[in-house]
Structure 1
Amino acid sequence: MSDVTATSTGHESGRKGMSEEWRARLTGSVASISLTFIIVVAVGWFWVGPKFLSFSNVSILGTFVIVPLVVGTFASVALLSGVVDLSIGSMVGLGSALFATFIAAGWDPASSAAVTLAICLVFGGINALAIVGFGAQPIAATLGSLVALRGISWVLVGQEGAIFAFNIDMFNLVGTTFLGLPALFLIAIGMALVAAFIVTKTQLGRHVQAVGGDDKAASRAGISVWKVRTGALLLSAFGAGLGGIIYAAQLGSAARATGFGLEFEVYAALMIGGYSILRGGVGNPIGGALGLLAVAGVSNILDLKAISPYFVDIIVGLLLLAAVLLDRLRGGDAFE
């Protein structure tokens, strides 16, 4: 009789655990942004028509979000570890200017990309030294990097305001399609999925969350806080540099405005997708990707309806406020 009771109790506990897990999933940040994304798609379908979901329009939208997706996926790792890297927009501009400079000087694309990423990693290391080594506030340190890197980019671009460096091989590479969609867009989505798996299913991901949630507790648990945050900042710089290379390859040039304001676009979308600027350990790369796609979808709808793009800022601001409110209603400290 006791065995039957124990078995029944075990089954009830299992069902209760599963129900709580599903309740958490359905009320969490990824569920919220998924619903928002579905609403954006529905509005586009009913207001714009079938054209909104046509391969040609989705291809255009995908091309538009490749760089924000790549940069956002890498930057979200730093955000999860408790570091806001405001320099990502300027790092994109620097990566674009460096790559274009090397191409214009006659370098091959592979060498140009390798040296560009190496230089971006050096500046990411400087950010890490300031923040992790000397304990500087991340926002203050990366704000300084934002200004300095933008200045370096402008020096590289020169008075002409642009570096023209069209390379047919790189142009064809970034323009490759698969099943009617940009291959780089699909790769960027794949990167977000891989990042989500690492964050939610691996020890490394749990360490990043732990450091972002409470670095002192993580340190007492034997986790190397400086290694996690240094690695996260290097990944953030690498992703931004890669975004700059993609921009230069797409456009065949680098300009002063390349990457300008991208940090605000990326972090607004990440917050809409469930991340927090004020504390680490909160967020999921899938939510971040959906946030970027939702914002891009809104912009695309207004563009197709010939409505002023300034309304995008209003809508994004409202979505951001809604995301903050939902975050507080959820308790503000749950990670999916």
Structure 2
Amino acid sequence: MTSRPKPSATALLSPMATSLAFLAIVIVCGIVFAPSFLSVANLASVSSGIMAPAIILLVACLAMTGGVADLSLGSVLGLGGVVYATVLQLSESPLAGVAAAAAAGVAVGLFNSVLSVRFHIWPLIATLGMLVAARGLVSVISGGSSVAAYTPELSAALKTAIGPVPVVLVGVVVLAVLVGWIIRYTRWGNHLRAVGGDDVAARRAGIPANRMRMWLFVVVALVAALAGSLQVMRTGASAVNLGEGVELLVYGALLISGYRLAGGGRGSALSGLVCLFALELIRNIFRLRGLPLPLTDVLLGLTLIGAVSLDLVRGRVRRPLIAQPATG
């Protein structure tokens, strides 16, 4: 008679368990340190604030599964927002603004993909350059000031909420479930995981690894630009600093939830959303307490270090449980 080791240790360190524990700790801290933390108005503000990062997170988790990490996401979001606002002012057509923002996103994605896939520049380096370049384009196009782009109907539609939760965010959660299903149960998802795990082995198996990664760069940048236009539709203006720090929030949430910058991991879109909400709640607690917001960047950096350390712990716990022979 043989018995298998109980996977209780790995269950406790699973991405969703870790994400929920992280969220619970943040909520307790919010209740203790900020009396208005649980007010409907405050929760509604936090939920609205993560709409654009949450949309980007969905495609970022697809990209990270395939081994693509794009550091220019926040700048591309800002670029999409200012392009949408500028074209809307010139044409008075929201559709033209969205089309222009989408075109800008596709152009950025193609540029990143060529640098990374064709010229073999490490994605983090290639997209770091685009982070700076796109932010410079935002300043040039906007002239260093906010660009008004208020459309009452679109703004009201995007602010529709169920209690403190925007309807758009509910849709994002539904899409997160769909993304998880695609990655785990579809042929394309299997190919994506193969490319993120070992692209050389994937190419030998007949999977077009380079083509998939090029598409991932384009799709991530496209969605980031569209998320920027949605953010401007909701708020009615494109600020010069729109999107700053979004890449840190998104990748911080994904790293905590079990993803790896080098590709793959055991996280999910849902666990990533949970961590994203927790990180935004931390920023909210700082605002409610009147603390300097730059301190949140320090805390986020420490959180990222903790996420990497946690991933190492997961690996060390999981390996003995898998390798341990059955005894009886």
Task: Read off the aligned partner of 2:27 and give its amino acid letter.
Answer: V
| TM superposition score normalised by structure 1 | 0.86
Measure the CA separation in 2 of the matches of 1:149 and 1:44.
Answer: 35
Structure 1 64/27 Cα, relative in aligned 2: closer, same or farther at 3 Å? same
1:39 aligns with 2:22: no
Out of 40, 44, 47, which is 1:55 matched to?
A: 40
RMSD: 2.4
1:153 aligns with 2:138: yes
Stretches of structure 1 lacking an aligned partner (at least 5 in a row) = 1-8
1:93 aligns with 2:78: yes
1:258 aligns with 2:242: yes
Out of 195, 201, 221, which is 2:185 matched to?
A: 201
Structure 1 36/168 Cα, relative in aligned 2: closer, same or farther at 3 Å? same
1:5-16 mapped onto 2 (5 Å cutoff) = 16=4
Cα distance, 1:317 vs structure 2:
2.9
2:264 maps to what in 1?
281
1:325 maps to what in 2?
309
Residues 162-205 of structure 1: per-residue CA shift (max 9 Å, x gap): 22121112211221113442112222222222222222232222
1:178 maps to what in 2?
162
1:1-336 mapped onto 2 (5 Å cutoff) = 16=4, 20=7, 24-49=10-35, 51-159=36-144, 161-277=145-261, 279-282=262-265, 283-331=267-315
Measure the CA separation in 1 of the matches of 2:177 and 2:295.
Answer: 30
**Secondary structure at the counterpart of residue 258 of structure 1:** coil
Greater radius of gyration (CA): 1
Measure the CA separation in 2 of the matches of 1:129 and 1:217.
Answer: 22
Cα distance, 1:295 vs structure 2:
0.7
Cα distance, 1:211 vs structure 2:
0.7
| 320-329 or 268-277: bigger deviation | 268-277
Measure the CA separation in 1 of the matches of 2:287 and 2:31.
Answer: 14
Measure the CA separation in 2 of the matches of 1:301 and 1:155.
Answer: 34
Aligned partners of 2:283 and 2:293 also within 8 Å: yes
Cα distance, 1:25 vs structure 2:
4.0
Structure 1 333/24 Cα, relative in aligned 2: closer, same or farther at 3 Å? closer
Aligned partners of 1:193 and 1:286 also within 8 Å: yes
Cα distance, 1:115 vs structure 2:
2.9
Aligned partners of 2:77 and 2:226 also within 8 Å: yes
Stretches of structure 2 lacking an aligned partner (at least 5 in a row) = 319-328
Measure the CA separation in 2 of the matches of 1:318 and 1:112.
Answer: 39
Structure 1 44/275 Cα, relative in aligned 2: closer, same or farther at 3 Å? same
Give the % identical residues.
32
Cα distance, 1:85 vs structure 2:
0.7
Over 6 Å off, 4+ runs: none
Cα distance, 1:241 vs structure 2:
0.7
Task: Read off the aligned partner of 1:34 and give its amino acid letter.
Answer: L
Structure 1 180/144 Cα, relative in aligned 2: closer, same or farther at 3 Å? closer
Structure 1 56/332 Cα, relative in aligned 2: closer, same or farther at 3 Å? farther
Aligned partners of 1:77 and 1:235 also within 8 Å: no
Structure 1 281/333 Cα, relative in aligned 2: closer, same or farther at 3 Å? farther
Task: Read off the aligned partner of 1:241 and give its amino acid letter.
Answer: A
Structure 1 132/332 Cα, relative in aligned 2: closer, same or farther at 3 Å? farther
| TM superposition score normalised by structure 2 | 0.88
Measure the CA separation in 2 of the matches of 1:59 and 1:263.
Answer: 22
Measure the CA separation in 1 of the matches of 2:28 and 2:186.
Answer: 35
Count how many residue pairs are aligned between Structure 1 and Structure 2. Answer: 317
Aligned partners of 2:43 and 2:164 also within 8 Å: no
